[in-house]
Structure 1
Amino acid sequence: MYLAGSNGTGDIGFAPVAHWPHHYLDDGPCQLLVTSPDQRIRIGWFGDDFELWKITAAQEAVAPPRWTATFNHVSPPELVAALTTVLAQDYATSDPYENGRFLANPSVYWSDAVQPLLDAGWQLKRTYGFIDITAPDGLAGVEIDTHREGPGEGPGSQFITLWAGPRGWGTRTEAVFTYRTPSHLIAATAAAMTKSAPVVRERHMIHREMEHLVTLTPFVPLAAPRTSRSPTPLDVRRTAVTEAVRRAARAPRTAADLRVMAAQSRTTTPAQKRSAVLPPTAAAQTPVASSPRRPGR
């Protein structure tokens, strides 16, 4: 899934917070802003920027962000949905007058934020000031900056970066979390990277340099069920006529009818006689035999 790339829309990422207020800002770089009812959580969609998603949480609506998470334009929206799902749950269970879990201090143990990856067998490598965790296929990983110990949220204060795909503008997924992001939110996003369930993409959404790295399975949608319609006046008339003809064909013959048929049999040709005896529906269905063509002289 982490190599699937973006599907070009934010529907999946916004689905968990679809009931929150939506603000359409077509004139600015942020085209859609979805906020919690008290506006402490903000989820921005920047449709034309490299950083496609920007998610922040603050102690008050007008306070500076306590933490920030960004997803670039290649990031699968399923990763964003993993984060927004937990955010919606945290907000629903929070006290409006107290800090909810979405504002909790991160764990003092960096491993709590990436434990799902370690449990999945991703490889750990330590270097001075950094920790790298890499997927078994080498095509995804996590970079943790252990140098940063202060609470700053200014430029350059990134702490954990989830990545996937080869380096390149159209191939590398990057999700960056700043230092004070609660550990359980990062862990929820990291857990989504271990999922092997297929996701739906159109062929043109897969970068040509990624086609040999993913498994593409054609998907044929099921046919839509037929919907019943009310009969039209013409349908009703046709049904009535058909039933009347059937009843007439099955009706018993009276003595007068038999006398008329006997008189007709004395005055009609054999071909007409056969046609008169047949019910109307059968006569209409009897094919007319073509006369054999005489050989030319």
Structure 2
Amino acid sequence: MSARTAYDPHLFQEVLVSPMYLAGSDGTGEAGFAPVAHWPHHHLDEGPCQLLVTSPDQRIRIGWLGDDFELWMITAAEDAVSTPRWTATFNHVTPAEIVAGLTTALAHDYAEADAYDINARFLASPSLYWADAIRPLIDAGWTRDAAERGTVEYSSPDDQAGVLIDNRRHHHSDRDAPTVELWAGPPGWGTRAEAVFTGRTPSHLIAATAAAMADSAPVVRERHHIHREMEHLVTLTPVGSASPQTPRAPTPLDVRRTAVTQAVHRAARAPRTAADLRVMAAQSRSAGASQHRSASLAPASTDRPPASSPAPRHGR
């Protein structure tokens, strides 16, 4: 975000931003953590990871690296001490609503799995068909581009987002290398959103992330969250000024209230620990504090080709 006047009330106005994948981060990550709000939270004083949210058995780990370029690091392993089977990273420009596509799918997979189940869906092998991982993008009208042999590229209708699949890294020695990258926005430290998945990431988890990315609903941001170089690429509509026929996107307060409600509902169906109750209480306090801060800042179907399918490459 470019330097701007610190207390210009206009900059703190809430706006609906579309397309969502160009909205950038709101700086909190709350939407990404909401689906796992009932999981144990670990606030770390040492190291780059400031917050670590884990499944109760610690096989799934969601790390928030607040001061790093790679803001999110999400992994899954067969047990708490095993090397991760796969890793997904999201950089600091990626909207947390896209991260929520993955964390929502993980929360669902975990809830459906038996305790310490080595066949849990979040540990499944990827599909043999690369299209399974990006089916929501294909269904949303993204088109295939020319690409380097052994890779596949698709781009959004506005050419401001895309996906790169590298099918050359299928050997055992390369199984932990990045193989799928979702991106949005022009190149640049403050403008390009990136989500990267290693080779053994289950295809349905990538697809869940892609589905969030393809969602046409706008998201809420304050004006100062939008990088100046992105302003001409997005549509900004002040919250409250949308036509009555257009459903209003949730405000940050709405999102926080929904997250707490969902967390309580999920926790009611699972054994509660003292840590779970503390997390829910902290979520409620956080929502109240955030509301107070906001008030003080502003006045009043294609065929499925096999993974080996080659395609020529062209530059983006």
Task: Name 1:80's counterpart in structure 2.
Answer: 99
Letter in 1 for 2:76: A
1:49 and 2:68 correspond: yes
Task: Name 1:5's counterpart in structure 2.
Answer: 24
CA distance in 2, matches of 1:136, 1:196: 12
Asked whether the 8 Å contact 2:175–2:198 carries over to 1, the reply is no
1:168 and 2:193 correspond: no
Task: Name 1:63's counterpart in structure 2.
Answer: 82
Task: Name 1:199's counterpart in structure 2.
Answer: 219
Larger Rg: 1
Partner SS, residue 214 of structure 2:
coil
CA distance in 1, matches of 2:175, 2:50: 23
1:130 and 2:151 correspond: yes
Task: Name 1:271's counterpart in structure 2.
Answer: none
Deviation string for 1:78-116 (max 9, x for gaps)?
A: 000110001000000101242210000000100000011
Asked whether the 8 Å contact 1:26–1:32 carries over to 2, the reply is no
Partner SS, residue 34 of structure 1:
strand
Partner SS, residue 78 of structure 1:
helix
Partner SS, residue 196 of structure 2:
strand
Deviation string for 1:117-144 (max 9, x for gaps)?
A: 1111111124312111001110000000
Partner SS, residue 15 of structure 1:
helix
Cα separation, partners in 2 of 1:158 and 1:39, compared to 1, 3 Å: same
Which deviates more, 186-195 or 39-48? 186-195
Report deviation, 1:220.
4.5
Report deviation, 1:150.
2.4
Report deviation, 1:26.
2.8
Asked whether the 8 Å contact 1:142–1:161 carries over to 2, the reply is yes
Task: Name 2:267's counterpart in structure 1.
Answer: none
Structure 1: state its 5+ residue gaps.
223-297
Deviation >6 Å, runs of 4+: none
Partner SS, residue 236 of structure 2:
coil
Letter in 1 for 2:217: A
Task: Name 1:229's counterpart in structure 2.
Answer: none
User: What is the number of residues matched between the two proteins?
Assistant: 221
- Among all aligned residue pairs of Structure 1 and Structure 2, give the percentage whose two residues are the same amino acid: 69
Task: Name 1:143's counterpart in structure 2.
Answer: 164
Cα separation, partners in 2 of 1:152 and 1:21, compared to 1, 3 Å: farther
Deviation string for 1:38-81 (max 9, x for gaps)?
A: 00000000000000000000001100000000000000000001
Asked whether the 8 Å contact 1:66–1:180 carries over to 2, the reply is yes
CA distance in 2, matches of 1:3, 1:71: 14
Letter in 1 for 2:231: E
Cα separation, partners in 2 of 1:207 and 1:16, compared to 1, 3 Å: same
Task: Name 1:106's counterpart in structure 2.
Answer: 126
Partner SS, residue 217 of structure 1:
strand
1:120 and 2:148 correspond: no
Partner SS, residue 210 of structure 1:
helix
Task: Name 2:203's counterpart in structure 1.
Answer: 183
Cα separation, partners in 2 of 1:30 and 1:153, compared to 1, 3 Å: farther
1:91 and 2:110 correspond: yes
Letter in 2 for 1:139: Q
Partner SS, residue 2 of structure 1:
helix
Letter in 2 for 1:128: R
Partner SS, residue 100 of structure 2:
helix
Asked whether the 8 Å contact 2:175–2:199 carries over to 1, the reply is no
Report deviation, 1:202.
0.6
CA distance in 2, matches of 1:218, 1:136: 25
CA RMSD of aligned residues (A): 1.6
TM-score, normalisation: structure 2: 0.68
CA distance in 2, matches of 1:200, 1:76: 11
Report deviation, 1:195.
1.0
Asked whether the 8 Å contact 1:151–1:179 carries over to 2, the reply is no
Partner SS, residue 105 of structure 1:
coil
Task: Name 2:46's counterpart in structure 1.
Answer: 27
Query: Structure with the greater relative contact order (CA < 8 A, sep ≥ 6): 1 or 2?
Result: 2
CA distance in 2, matches of 1:47, 1:97: 30
CA distance in 2, matches of 1:97, 1:4: 38
Partner SS, residue 162 of structure 1:
strand
CA distance in 2, matches of 1:112, 1:158: 17
The 5-angstrom pairing of residues 258-269 of structure 1 reads none
